[in-house]
Homo-oligomer: A and B are copies of this chain.
Amino acid sequence: MTKPFDELTSSQISKLYDLLGVHIYRFSKNQEILPTIKSENILAIILEGYAQIINIEYNGNEIIVEELFKDSIFGTNISATNSENCQIIAKQDTQVLVIDYEKLVNPSNLKHTYYNTFLRNIFDIINDKFKKTNERIKILEKKQIREKLLEYFEIEHKKSRFNYIYLQFSFRDLADYLAVNRSAMFRELKHLKEEKFIEIKDRRITLLYK
């Protein structure tokens, strides 16, 4: 996957910083990132560390809507950040680069290839995020757990072409991703196992119908 500064040398990166007038903020563990940077329209890049975008629901529930690792981007528009009900919390010591959205799309001087490369990288990253989001929507649109699972399998199968899926996260997280109750998901997985649709060994799910 494309990263923000792919194909840029460190000297080009520092020139880019000047051109876009970036700011780098440092946050220590458990510090709030979002209400701190509250400029109207920004694009931010995690240079180092790890943070979480947390949504606070009207009933007080807190939900991790997105995880931000090194090279992740977030911003007023780009991520699940709707300011009012959102917090971004550094879960480790984290460095964040902040670019004013205006300057990103209207830099003072355009004729630098490094700016172009950067913008293209950002475009790529956003498009990739979009793709992933659309994948998830296709799953969430399914009404039943079985259909959600099968859609998820379908998408993962298409990516790897293997007839098995190796979960990169826990089954708990999978249930969150599918937005279903965890034990109800397990029940459905059991049914699929009984009907010889799938086999599960640790985090490897084999699709017997492929």
Contact = CB atoms under 8 A, between A and B. Distances in A.
Nearest to A176: B141
Contacts of A111: 110-111
Interface residues of A, number: 39
Given A141-B179, A181-B143, A84 B158 contact: yes
A78 B127 contact: yes
Nearest to A140: B140
Nearest to A75: B127
Interface stretch (A90-98, A130-138, A165-173): A130-138
A106 interface: yes
A80 interface: yes
Contacts of A65: 138
A123 interface: yes
Interface in A65-95: 65, 77-80, 82, 84
Contacts of A142: 179
A119 interface: yes
Given A133-B137, A137-B133, A140-B137, A58 B116 contact: no
Interface in A130-166: 130-131, 133-138, 140-143, 154, 158
15 contacts: A77-B127, A77-B128, A77-B130, A84-B158, A105-B116, A105-B120, A105-B123, A106-B116, A110-B111, A110-B116, A111-B111, A119-B119, A129-B130, A142-B179, A143-B180
